[in-house]
């Protein structure tokens, strides 16, 4: 299992990767990062998930927060606010701003996001090859109720709102960061995904992988968005290598974040077993659930997916490395079976 391919969102993926690199120091790890969370702020292109992976593995992450830079200051944000320029709900620190300035400058000069990401990683040396899922623009939108009816009345799902009342599509970051996912999500739409092409190197990395790992990233707005780029899901299913996943749901709830809300939007229960069935045996060969969910092992295996219960809390790098070892072990079993 020398070449390991990982589909990653932000914090769940990044922390898992840190453990994986400890568990398999000799492996060549390629990460396909979600870019559906990307947002333009203050004229700058911000890629939260790519940056979380880069900063976490490169030693620049704010550890407790899980995103953004350590030792951060917010002078630029304060100055912008003094001009009345927002949004004030998205926390961009001064150090972080530099990343987005460099990225935006390179994009404006004509470099694709994949080349820009490689250039940024020259500084951070994350120890993995980090590829954005696509160089094209994809933006995850969430359909919510519009209490004041001021939004567009045509939902992102094509519904007219009608009997369900008015609905409004908001950018995923607005749903999560500004609105704190406080209301139900009716639909999650990766706008532009159907037209997007996998970034250079993505399909090749899948074809060359010895194992594909879904870390405990959000199954809908992280891994699901990557799989929505035409060609990626098919390439993984056809790669002929073990595909193993780690549940982000423990004890019928996400460890952190809003996975329960976005899972509901796609009609999936927030349980470790339901997420495995959502990926399905056509894609997923093996699945790790937490020991508190040991009862669901039989249900996952009945769905045709090999399953084992092991501790899945990423409390520190060694605990996370142990999870990664379990993932590689079950992958070896799949291969031998």
Binding flag, residue 33, ligand GDP (CB under 6 A)? no
Cβ 59 to ligand GDP, closest distance in Å? 18
Nearer to ligand GDP, 167 or 279 (CB): 279
CA distances from 129 to 110, 118, 120, 132 (A): 21, 8, 12, 10
Residues 44-83 that bind Ca ion (CB under 5 A): 49
- Give the range of 38-46, 150-158, 246-254, 324-332 binding ligand GDP by CB under 6 A: 246-254
Cβ 201 to Ca ion, closest distance in Å? 21
Nearer to ligand GDP, 34 or 114 (CB): 34
Pattern 297-326, ligand GDP, x by CB under 6 A: ---------------xxx------------
- Give the range of 22-30, 250-258, 274-282, 299-307 binding ligand GDP by CB under 6 A: 250-258
Binding flag, residue 190, ligand GDP (CB under 6 A)? no
Cβ 299 to Ca ion, closest distance in Å? 28
Candidates 33, 155, 216, 224; binder of ligand GDP (CB under 6 A) is: 216
Cβ 221 to ligand GDP, closest distance in Å? 7
SS (H, E, C) the chain: CCEEEEEECCHHHHHHHHHHHHHCCCCEEEEEECCCCCEEECCEEECHHHHHHHHHHHCCECCCCCCCECCCCCHHHHHHHHCCCCCCCCCCCHHHHHHHHHHHHHHHCCCCHHHHHHHHHHHHCCCCEEEECECCCCEEEEEEECCCCCCCCCCCCCCCCHHHCCEEEEEHHHHHHHCCCCCCCCEEEEECHHHCCECCCHHHHHHHCCEEEECCCCCCCCHHHHHCCCCHHHHHHHCCCCEEEECCEECCEECCCCHHHHHHHCCCCCCHHHHHHHHCCCCCCEEEECHHHHHHHHHHHHCCCEEEECCCCCCCHHHHHHHHHHHHHHHHHHHHC
CB 190 within 8 Å of CB 36? yes
Binding flag, residue 11, ligand GDP (CB under 6 A)? yes
Q: Does the annotation list 51 as a binding residue?
A: yes
Cβ 215 to ligand GDP, closest distance in Å? 7
Residues 10-29 that bind Ca ion (CB under 5 A): 10
Candidates 51, 254, 265, 328; binder of ligand GDP (CB under 6 A) is: 254
Round to whole Å and give the CA distance between 157 and 160.
9
Cβ 31 to ligand GDP, closest distance in Å? 11
How are beta strands 167-171 and 139-145 bridged, if at all? antiparallel
Round to whole Å and give the CA distance between 276 and 307.
9
Q: Which does 36 bind (CB under 5 to 8 A by kind): Ca ion, ligand GDP, none?
A: none
Candidates 5, 9, 124, 155; binder of Ca ion (CB under 5 A) is: 9
Binding flag, residue 219, Ca ion (CB under 5 A)? no
Binding flag, residue 259, ligand GDP (CB under 6 A)? yes
Residues 38-97 that bind ligand GDP (CB under 6 A): 49, 52
Nearer to ligand GDP, 105 or 291 (CB): 291
Cβ 70 to ligand GDP, closest distance in Å? 16
CA distances from 55 to 10, 61, 131, 266 (A): 10, 5, 15, 31
Using CB under 5 A as the criterion, which residues of the chain lie in contact with Ca ion when the complex forms?
A: 9-10, 37, 49
Known binding-site residue numbers: 51
Using CB under 6 A as the criterion, which residues of the chain lie in contact with ligand GDP when the complex forms?
A: 8-13, 49, 52, 216-218, 222, 247-248, 250, 254-257, 259, 312-314
């Amino acid at each position: 299992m020398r070449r390991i391919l990982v589909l990653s969102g932000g914090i769940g993926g990044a922390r898992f990767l840190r453990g994986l690199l400890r568990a398999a120091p000799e492996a060549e790890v390629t990460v396909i990062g979600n870019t559906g969370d990307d947002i333009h702020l203050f004229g700058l292109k911000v890629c939260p998930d790519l940056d979380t992976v880069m900063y976490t593995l490169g030693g620049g992450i704010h550890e407790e927060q899980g995103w953004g830079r350590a030792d951060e200051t917010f002078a630029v944000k304060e100055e912008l606010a003094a001009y009345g320029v927002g949004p004030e709900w998205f926390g961009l620190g001064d150090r972080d701003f530099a990343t987005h300035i460099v990225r935006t400058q390179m994009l404006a000069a004509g470099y694709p996001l994949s080349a820009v990401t490689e250039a940024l990683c020259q500084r951070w040396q994350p120890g993995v090859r980090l590829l954005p899922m696509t160089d094209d623009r994809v933006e995850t939108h969430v359909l919510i109720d519009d209490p004041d009816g001021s939004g567009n009345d045509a939902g992102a799902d094509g519904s007219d709102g009608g009997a369900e009342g008015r609905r409004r599509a908001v950018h995923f970051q607005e749903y999560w960061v500004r609105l704190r996912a406080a209301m139900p999500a009716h639909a999650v739409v990766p706008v532009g995904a159907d037209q997007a092409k996998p970034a250079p190197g993505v399909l090749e990395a899948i074809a060359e992988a010895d194992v594909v790992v879904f870390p405990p990233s959000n199954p809908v707005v992280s891994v699901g968005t990557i799989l929505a780029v035409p060609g990626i899901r098919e390439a993984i299913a056809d790669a002929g290598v073990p595909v193993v996943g780690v549940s982000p749901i423990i004890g019928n709830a996400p460890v952190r974040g809003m996975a329960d809300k976005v899972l509901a939007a796609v009609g999936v229960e927030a349980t470790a077993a339901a997420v495995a069935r959502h990926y399905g045996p056509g894609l997923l060969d093996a699945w790790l659930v937490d020991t508190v969910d040991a009862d669901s092992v039989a249900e996952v295996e009945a769905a045709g997916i090999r399953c084992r219960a092991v501790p899945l809390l990423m409390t520190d790098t060694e605990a996370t490395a142990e999870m990664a070892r379990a993932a590689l072990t079950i992958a070896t079993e799949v291969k031998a079976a």
